[in-house]
Amino acid sequence: MTQSGDGRARRIKIAPSLLSADFARIADQIALVERGGADYLHIDVMDGRFVPNITWGPKIISDMRRLTKLPFDTHLMIVEPERYVEAFAKAGADIITVHWEATVHAHRLIHQIKEAGAKAGLAINPATPLVVLDEILPYLDLLLVMSVDPGFGGQRYIESSTPKLAAARKMIADRRLRVELEVDGGVHEENAAVVAAAGADVLVMGAGIFSTPAPDATIGRVRESCAR
C-alpha cells in the first residue's frame, strides 16, 4: 500500500467519473461500480461556457441520489458557480468542487459551500500554478489537481501533473492539513500506481473504468496496483 509521508499506509480512494458511463443505463452503471468497490461517484457538471461541453444539473443528481449511498463528488465546471451551490447541495452533492479559475471570490465561495452543508473542494487547471493556493488551502476539504484540460473524458494524462501532485502533497503535509488530494483526467490502470505514489488520495477515473470490458473488476485491479 502506498505510504504516506509519516510512513503510515494510505488507502487510495477511487472515484469513477460517470461522464464516461452510458447515461441511458445510469442505474446499472452506478450499481456496477458500487459492487466493484468505488469510494465516490464523480459527477461532472459542465455548462458549455467554462468548458465547451454540456452535461447535467441538479435534477438528475437528486434522481440519482435515490440509487446509491456512495458519496457524490460533484465537480462543477461552470461559470458563476456561486449561483448554484445551494441547488447542488440540496440535490444531494456531498462534495462540491468549484474551479479557482471560475471565481474571483474563492474564499467566500468555499465558505458558501460549507454553509450549504457540503464538503468544499477547489480545482485548478493544468496551467494554474500551486502558488495560488497559498491563502486558501487551509479552508479546503479537497484539492483537485486537473491532469487534463477540463471538458471531455478520455484525454491523455499531462505528465507534468505527477510532480505537481507531489508538490501539492508536500504543501498539505508541511502545513499538517487534512485536505484530500484528488487527481482528475487521463488516469487508467497503467498509470494509477505512479499517480497514487506521487501523493493523490483520490483517483478520478472515467474512460479508465467505464471504457474497460468489466468496470467492477478494473476497480479491484487498480486498487491492487496502488497497494503494491
Task: Give the active site residues.
Answer: 44, 184
Residue 185 engages ligand DX5 in binding (rule: CB under 6 A): yes
DSSP state of 50: S
Binder of ligand DX5 out of 184, 193, 199, 219 (CB under 6 A)? 184
* Angstrom distance (rounded) from CA 169 to CA 143: 10
Instruction: Between 179 and 202, name the residue whose CB sits nearer to ligand DX5.
Output: 202
Residue keyed to cell 494554474: 128
Q: Of 67-96, which residues contact Zn ion (CB under 5 A)?
A: 75
Instruction: Between 127 and 170, name the residue whose CB sits nearer to Zn ion.
Output: 127
Question: CA 148 → CA 77, 84, 129, 145, 200, distances in Å?
Answer: 13, 24, 14, 9, 15
Residue 10 engages Zn ion in binding (rule: CB under 5 A): no
- Residues 76 and 46: beta-carbon distance below 8 Å: no
* Angstrom distance (rounded) from CA 216 to CA 226: 16
Out of Zn ion, ligand DX5, none, what residue 155 binds, judged by CB under 5 to 8 A for its kind, is ligand DX5
* Angstrom distance (rounded) from CA 111 to CA 124: 18
* CB atoms near residue 132 (< 10 Å): 14
Binder of Zn ion out of 44, 47, 180, 201 (CB under 5 A)? 44
Residue 20 engages ligand DX5 in binding (rule: CB under 6 A): yes
Residues making up the chain, counted from first to last: 228
Interface stretch with ligand DX5, choices 4-12, 82-90, 106-114, 149-157 (CB under 6 A) = 149-157
Interface stretch with Zn ion, choices 43-51, 56-64, 66-74, 194-202 (CB under 5 A) = 43-51
CA quadruple 192, 23, 120, 81: dihedral positive or negative?
A: positive
Nearest to 189 by CA among 151, 163, 227, 226: 226
Q: Of 177-196, which residues contact Zn ion (CB under 5 A)?
A: 184
Out of ligand DX5, Zn ion, none, what residue 215 binds, judged by CB under 5 to 8 A for its kind, is none
Element (H, E) at 184: strand 180-184
| Interaction mask 54-73, ligand DX5, x per CB under 6 A | --------------------
Residues that bind ligand DX5 (CB under 6 A): 17, 19-20, 42, 44, 75, 148, 150-151, 153-155, 184-187, 204-208
